[in-house]
Amino acid sequence: MKAYRTINLEENMPAARDAAARLTTEIRLAKRHGIRLVKCIHGFGSTGRGGKIRLAARRELESLQKRGYVKAIIPGEKLSIFDEDTRQAMAYYGELRGAPALDRHNNGITLVVL
């Protein structure tokens, strides 16, 4: 059983609402298949202020967390060995150790613990 999956929401440049809908579908499928950690690539937007897909994805993840589909959301900018949520995720998912995104403050990704 695979414990880690990457979802690229920027693929094919969808509208923000379509990306958010796809994220919900992908999260539900991941849970159904026993995947417990998802790396969501949503980008940061070309303006440098945070793209529409990023904002829509994070809103959707917060909604999914409130409804119990998601245990933890770790924004890329918080992804660090100094962050408690990151350390807990690393304890369960060893493949995060040495991950290229770790400690890079990548605003274009979000880790999701299911």
Domain ranges of the chain: 4-113
Kindly report the pTM of this predicted structure: 0.84
What span, in angstroms and rounded, lies between the C-alpha atoms of 107 and 79? 10
Q: Which fold has domain 4-113?
A: Ribosomal Protein S8; Chain: A, domain 1 (3.30.1370)
How confident is the prediction along the chain (114 residues), in pLDDT tens digits per residue? 356 789 999 998 899 999 999 999 999 999 999 998 899 999 886 555 558 999 999 999 999 999 999 999 999 888 887 888 888 887 777 766 666 665 567 888 999 998
- Provide the terminal-to-terminal Cα distance of the chain, rounded to the nearest Å: 14
